[in-house]
Structures are given as structure tokens and as C-alpha cells.
Amino acid sequence: MDGSLTEWLLRAETPSIRFITLRDLMERPAGDASLRQAAQDVAASGPAAAILAAQQSEGYWFTRRNYYSPKYRSTHWSMLLLTELQVAPSEPRLTKGADFMLSIRTDKSSPRTSMGKQKESCFWGNLLRYVAHAGLQNDPRVERVIDDLTSRGLQDNWVCVHFGDRCPWGVLRALWGLVALPSQLRTSEVNASIESGLRFLLEEHDFLAGKYPRRSTYLKNWHKLAFPHFAHADLLFALRVLTDLDALEHPAAQRALDWLQQQRRGDGRWQGISPFGSRTWELPGGREDVDRWVSLHSTLVLQKARRI
């Protein structure tokens, strides 16, 4: 690996980029002083600190009921971003946010648990991801979320309740949540649902081209590498999901890895976009740190694939 890339990543204004670089890319040991300092900086300064400071005492952001709006700063989206920023599971405000979002599962007046919206794979997959990151995967309320997600793959064949088509975003977000579960919660039904999602993504459609049934303008962004992700997914995010699932050896994934390598510029970096940057919490570093995020995730994927 080119040392200039890691040096550039470590100059990021965002503490989370420095922390992930040291922990995952450079594989510094847990006792390393620079890694410990970076871990402390994640929640003490930068965007994660600002997001956590805006949280209400009961665990939500803005209003109790509208945890989905405004996009992309309300409770659901804030929890997603805090997870991407790698706020430590031991952070009590992260736990409180996850607990608040789990409480909506039993709220019959919630817009996400009425009118059939409990079948939104993208929403519940995202929720499962940050709930598991916050260490609440053994909470009894999580069992119903897992059951609903697995049934989307095994019974509903990943059909989106809004668009009437099988939705790649819903599949990716469901897998992103399910793969975060510890082994003791990965039941045969969970594993079968994961396999169903992988077949849909990698074998039944053109993964590299992003040719899936859902008719959406978001498909146009499949080859534009972004950070952060909120209401869409791209090929890099999909490869991150496959990395977590140890599925990069699949021929379709290998072709996508070839493409990702080809996007690397002459300076060893990748170019990124931030389609929701003006609507979410302020992230420091501007365009350069967006490039850093995309370059960091691209490098981690290629490192796991033994291409770097």
C-alpha cells in the first residue's frame, strides 16, 4: 500500500477517518496510543460530537414523533450517521438513541409500524445495523425486527411495498443489518434470507451494471461513489456489504472489484460525491474529506479482497 495514501487519510479533519484508518487499515493494536487518542476524539470533537450534543434527553433528535423527518438530521438518520462515524458502542447517548428507536416497534401510532410500512426492508435493515452497533442486539424487541427482515426475503421475495418491484436498496440494507448480528443470532432463517439476498444481487441480475427491477432515479448513481449514504446505495456500498458477508469471491463481485480498482486516480485516491451533504449534519473537511471517506472504504474493500 502506498504510504502517501495513509498519510493523507491521517490528515483528515474528521476524527472518525483517522480512527478507522488506524484501526482497520493500518491494524494498530488496541493498546496503541495514537489509536486510543483517535477513538477518544471521535465522540469528543468533530461531527459526531456535534450530533450527540444536539440529542434530546429522551434519546431522540428534533421531535419524538418525527424520527424520520427532517431528512437527513432526525433520529433515524442521525443514528445511521453516528454508526458510520464509528461512535463507540459504550457511548451512552448512542445506546439511548438505539433504545428510543426500538421503542417505536411497539408504538401503534408510529407511521413506520402502520399501513404495512413494517415491510420496509431498507428502514428496518438500517435500524438493525445501528441497534446492533450500539450493543442492543439481544434486546427482546430486536427479535421481531429480525423476523420481519428475514420474512422479506423468504416470503415476500424482497418486493418493495412502495414500488411493487424487487428492490436492491432494500436487499442491501437488510443484509447490512443482518450481517451485524453475532453468530448466536444468525439462525438458519437469517442465513437463508442472506443467501436469498445474495442470489438476487449477484446471480439474478447484473451487479456491476446495477440493472435491477426497481425503476428509480437512484439507479443512475450506482457508479458514483458517495458518502454518507442515506436514501440510496451505490456499488461501493454494495461491495462493503459483500465484504462483511465474506462474499467477495463471487465472480460478479470480482468484476465489480475490477471496476473499483480502475476508478483509482493517478494519485492513489478515489473521487467521491456527497449527494445529501447540504441536508444532513455538517461534515468537516469539505470535498477533500468526502474523497477521503470514499478512498478509505475503497481501500478497505480491496484490502479484504487481497488486491492491496
Q: State the Cα–Cα distance between residues 248 and 304, nearest whole angstrom.
A: 8
Interhelix angle 46-53/75-84, rounded to 10 degrees, is: 150
Look up residue 10 and give its DSSP letter.
H
Give start and end residues of each alpha helix (H) in the chain. Answer: 3-10, 15-20, 33-44, 46-53, 75-84, 92-103, 121-133, 140-154, 168-178, 188-198, 235-244, 251-262, 286-304
Domain 3-304 matching CATH 1.50.10: the answer reads yes
Peptide bond preceding 284: is omega within 30 degrees of 0, i.e. cis? no
Q: What is the pLDDT of residue 104?
A: 86
Residue 252 clears pLDDT 90, i.e. is over it: yes
Q: In the chain, what is the straight-line distance between the N-terminal and C-terminal CA atoms, in Å? A: 6
* Most confidently predicted of 7-16, 63-72, 228-237: 7-16
What pLDDT is attached to residue 215?
59
Residues 6 or more apart in contact with residue 129 via CB below 8 angstroms: 80, 83, 173, 176, 177, 180
159-196 pLDDT, tens digit per residue, is: 887 777 888 999 999 999 999 999 999 999 999 999 99
Domain map of the chain by residue range?
3-304
User: Which of 9-18, 107-116, 239-248 shows the lowest mean pLDDT across its residues?
Assistant: 107-116
Lowest mean pLDDT among 91-95, 112-116, 226-230: 112-116
How confident is residue 114, by pLDDT bands cut at 50, 70 and 90? very low
Report pTM.
0.94
Cβ neighbours of residue 156 under 8 Å, at least 6 residues apart?
119
Judge whether residue 105 has pLDDT over 80. no
Say which residue the cell 488486491 belongs to: 307
Burial 281-292 (b: 16+ CB within 10 A, else e): bebebeeebbbb
% of the chain with per-residue pLDDT over 70:
93
Residue pair 97/55 in contact by the 8 Å Cβ criterion: yes
Q: Which of 210-219, 227-236, 251-260 has the lowest mean pLDDT?
A: 210-219
Q: CB atoms < 10 A from the CB of 49, how many? A: 16
| DSSP codes joined into one string, 73-141 | TSHHHHHHHHHHTT--TT-HHHHHHHHHHHHGGG-TT-TTSSTTGGG-HHHHHHHHHHHHHTT-TTSHH
